[in-house]
Each structure stands twice: as structure tokens, then as C-alpha cells.
Amino acid sequence: MGAATAKAEEAAGADGSLPGAPPPDWPRLPNEVLALVLSWLPPETLATRCRLVCRRWRDLLDGPAVWKLQWRREPGMRAALEAAARCPRLRWSRLGVLRPLGRNLVRNPCGREEFRHWALHCEGWKDGWKVEENRSPVEGAEAQTCFAASYEWCQKEQVIDLLKEGLWPDLLDAYQPDIVVSDWWGGRQDCGCKYELFVALLAANKKTKIDVFEAKPDPIPQWNDASYQKVTHTFRRYGPGVRYVLFRQRGKDTQFWAGHYGARVTNSSVVIQFSSESAESLEPGLPSS
């Protein structure tokens, strides 16, 4: 692809025209045609280079036309299109470049990077967590690996900065998109285990809890089928002020065996999206679509 692009650039003139063809008359192009042309460029190029060309291009890229054309060609951008249908005020280039909607904001959810991005804590002993291959497949996971706990409570957590990921205060406070959290857990066939999940929506000070979800399912008994179970929850209409998501897991075995016979956790996710049940605008005087 790189070689083909280089050859095309060599063949084209400085103004983007092909040899023997008249140069494009950019100022005379209708906005609809210009938007279609621009929509084929990478989002970073649109936001950092094309937007600086002239006032007309800036106004076009600050609006929805180019971005909607681009997103309609990408299945992964359906969440952004849903937001566009609901919210009259969006930061189009921010959504297009950082893509905070519809993607998993948990980093290293399956242990493919060992313990990178996770803060670990174990109760006064040395074994802790271990990354292992899955004993049962998890469909849709980015890797078939998991975090395996040991014989005392093992804990790990991430704090997700929603503004850093690409969201902004007005969107979070006025529209309160759904925050969907999920996790997969299971045990070894020959050993029982316990598992807990704690998720908190935090304010800007990272201390105030605006909403909380806790799961403490029944322990998995010894001699099980080693399959995974899914835990999921949707935060909805949680109120203004949410800026961080604390995602915390705990696991242990029930036999107190040395090694890593405890709960297996994998494919953790936090996804921001709009749905038919999402709140309409909660900001007084702001029209909803």
C-alpha cells in the first residue's frame, strides 16, 4: 500500500491532479463534494492539517458533514453516529480522532501485556496474580489469556480518565451516555474460587463516588467445567460530575492451595455509548433531537 501511494504521489501534480488533467478548482467545489473528498482522509490529517487550510475548510470540519460520511463507512463508529443523532452540540474532530465512544476503555483487558496499566495489590504475601492461557475460550476477547489469582485475595484495578480518553464535560453532564461495564470470570476445573467486582463513577477529585456497582457472585465449586461467566452492568442517568471510572477486581481460590488456582478474570471492558434508553439532554433549555 505504501509503494502504491508513493507512485500515485509521484504521478500526481503538486495540486493533486493527474498528468494531463486540469487542476481541481477547489474554491468552486460545492460543500457536499468537498466534504465527500475530505472524508477519505485520515482523521488526524483532517483535524491537524486540513482544518488549517482556510476558513471554509475549518467551518466544514467543525461541523458534522465530513465526519458523518467517514463514520458511515466504519462499523466501529456506530456509537458516534448514535451520539450525532441525539446531541446537537458535539466536538466532531475530537470524536473522530480520539474515538471515545463504542470502544473498550480498559487497557490490557486480557493480560496480553502482562500487568501493564493495572495497579496490583495482594494481602501480605508474594504470589499475587499470574497471566495464563484461557482454559475455555472467550468469544470476542482480544487475546485468549487471563489473570489467575492465588490462595489469598488478589486485587487489581484501573482508573480510567474519561476526559483524557476523548470525552468532555458537557457531553458527560448534559447527556450522560450509558457507561457499560463487563467482566468475565471462571475457575480451574479442579479448584473452587471466589470473585468480586467493584466499579465506581468518580468525580474530578477521584474520591467522590457518584455511582457504584458491586458484584459478589456465589463461589464456583471445586470440580466445575472451567467455563467463564459474564458480569455486566449499565450505569444510566447517573448525574453530572463523572470524570473517572474505577474498575476493581478481586479473586482467590477456596482450597488455599499454593500457586495460582484462584479465579480467572479476562476481557474486562468499560464502553461509553448511547442507546434508546439513554437519558435525553438533562441541561435546562438545551433542545434534544
Domain 103-273 sits in CATH at 2.60.120.260
In this prediction, residue 287 carries a pLDDT of 43
In this prediction the pTM is: 0.86
Query: Which residues have a Cβ under 8 Å from the Cβ of 31 and sit 6 or more positions away?
Result: 60, 65
pLDDT in tens, the chain (289 residues): 445 444 444 444 445 555 666 777 778 899 999 999 999 999 999 999 999 999 999 999 999 999 999 999 999 899 999 999 888 889 999 999 999 999 999 999 999 999 999 999 876 555 689 999 999 999 999 999 999 999 999 999 999 999 999 999 999 999 999 999 999 999 999 999 999 999 999 999 999 999 999 999 999 999 999 999 999 999 999 999 999 999 999 999 999 998 899 999 999 999 999 987 766 655 544 444 3
Q: Which three cell numbers stand for residue 254?
A: 477456596
In this prediction, residue 278 carries a pLDDT of 67
Q: Is 223 exposed, middle or buried (0-12, 13-18, 19+ CB in 10 A)?
A: exposed
Domain 31-98 sits in CATH at 1.20.1280.50
| CATH 2.60.120.260 domain span(s) along the chain | 103-273
* DSSP reduced 3-state for 195: strand
Sequence-ordered alpha helix ranges (H) in the chain: 2-11, 31-38, 43-48, 55-61, 65-72, 78-86, 92-98, 162-165, 169-170
Distance separating the N- and C-terminal Cα atoms of the chain: 41
Query: Which residues have a Cβ under 8 Å from the Cβ of 192 and sit 6 or more positions away?
Result: 219, 220, 221, 222, 224, 253, 254, 255
Given a contact cutoff of 8 angstroms between Cβ atoms, the answer to whether 94 and 84 are in contact is: no
Q: Which three cell numbers stand for residue 8?
A: 500515485
